[in-house]
């Protein structure tokens, strides 16, 4: 396995029960890339992220994340899910949410130390959310919440950042701000983002994977004429299978 790969899939199959989602999927994402993973609903995009995190295991094939098995590499990976798994009306401050990103490896019941506090402050500044630190999460807009969730992931100091449709359900201004944020942090870590917005992704990403059960196209758009015709057709097509929520 080359250390130049942030993520590599080799001939991977995966199915939820009788429903195949991925068939013979092979691709690699170079280390340091800003990679967009695009394709139709049910095409396997979110499943790829869950496999990369080691939350799912393939029925066939091999996956390597930062040169290691997913479960080994997981402490080096930050993840922003499509839907945050907490109640918006729970009495948490923004600072509390971001501090959660530093919990990995801490014993149960341990208090946040100075190092954790410093990492959280750095993440708040990097995502331009420091002025929101004392605000309850229930008071945030959709765009602000997405920034806070990215700050939580960055507080873990990941080498690889996985984002599952972070621009969904936020307005165009918030989307632009989010892309500016990701452009600012992309030089320090590898980023893989799932999205339905093919054109927005190709303006942001230097690497593109078009997935619809199998890989329809993968590479650097700037160096490969004809990619838009192939990816545009695949992304517009209805998904051939379903993905579990």
pLDDT given for residue 1 in this prediction: 44
Please count the structural domains in the chain: 1
Question: pLDDT for 96-136, tens place per residue?
Answer: 999 999 987 555 556 778 889 999 999 999 888 999 999 99
pLDDT given for residue 156 in this prediction: 92
The residue range of the domain holding 82 is 5-87+157-236
- Burial of 105 by CB count in 10 Å (0-12 exposed, 13-18 middle, 19+ buried)? exposed
Q: Is residue 94 included in any domain, yes or no?
A: no
Q: Is residue 27 included in any domain, yes or no?
A: yes
Q: Is residue 82 included in any domain, yes or no?
A: yes
* Predicted model pTM: 0.85
- Can you tell me the distance from the alpha carbon of 185 to that of 221, in angstroms, rounded to the nearest whole number? 21
Q: Is residue 113 included in any domain, yes or no?
A: no
Greater confidence, 2 or 89?
Answer: 89
- Can you tell me the distance from the alpha carbon of 36 to that of 209, in angstroms, rounded to the nearest whole number? 6
Residue 34 has pLDDT above 70, yes or no: yes
Residue 94 has pLDDT above 90, yes or no: yes
Q: Is residue 125 included in any domain, yes or no?
A: no
- Can you tell me the distance from the alpha carbon of 40 to that of 169, in angstroms, rounded to the nearest whole number? 17
What letter would DSSP give residue 225?
T
Residue 244 has pLDDT above 50, yes or no: no
Q: Is residue 24 included in any domain, yes or no?
A: yes
- Can you tell me the distance from the alpha carbon of 221 to that of 205, in angstroms, rounded to the nearest whole number? 9
- Can you tell me the distance from the alpha carbon of 14 to that of 147, in angstroms, rounded to the nearest whole number? 31
| Residues of the chain above pLDDT 70, percent | 85
Residue 177 has pLDDT above 90, yes or no: no
Question: pLDDT for 180-239, tens place per residue?
Answer: 888 888 777 899 999 877 777 877 888 999 999 999 989 887 777 666 676 765 555 554
Q: Is residue 199 included in any domain, yes or no?
A: yes
SS3 179: helix
Residue 7 has pLDDT above 60, yes or no: yes
pLDDT given for residue 10 in this prediction: 97
Q: Is residue 97 included in any domain, yes or no?
A: no
């Amino acid at each position: 396995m080359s250390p130049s790969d942030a993520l590599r899939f080799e001939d991977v199959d995966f199915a939820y029960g009788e429903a195949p989602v991925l068939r013979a999927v092979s691709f690699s994402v170079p280390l340091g890339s800003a990679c967009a993973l695009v394709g139709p609903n049910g095409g396997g995009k979110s499943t790829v992220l869950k496999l990369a995190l080691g939350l799912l295991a393939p029925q066939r094939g091999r996956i390597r994340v930062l040169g290691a098995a997913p479960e080994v590499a997981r402490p080096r990976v930050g993840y922003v899910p499509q839907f945050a798994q907490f109640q918006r009306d729970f009495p948490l401050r923004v600072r509390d949410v971001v501090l959660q990103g530093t919990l990995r490896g801490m014993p149960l019941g341990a208090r946040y130390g100075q190092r954790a506090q410093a990492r959280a402050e750095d993440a708040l500044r990097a995502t331009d959310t420091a002025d929101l630190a004392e605000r309850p999460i229930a008071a945030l807009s959709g765009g602000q919440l997405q920034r806070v969730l990215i700050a939580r992931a960055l507080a873990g100091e990941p080498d690889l950042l996985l984002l599952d449709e972070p621009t969904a359900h936020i307005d165009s201004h918030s989307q632009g701000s989010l892309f500016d944020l990701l452009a600012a942090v992309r030089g320090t870590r590898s980023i893989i983002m799932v999205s339905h917005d093919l054109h927005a992704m190709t303006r942001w990403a230097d690497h593109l994977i078009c997935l619809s059960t199998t890989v329809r196209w993968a590479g650097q758009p700037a160096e490969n004429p004809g990619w838009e015709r192939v990816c545009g057709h695949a992304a517009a097509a209805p998904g051939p299978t379903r993905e579990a929520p």
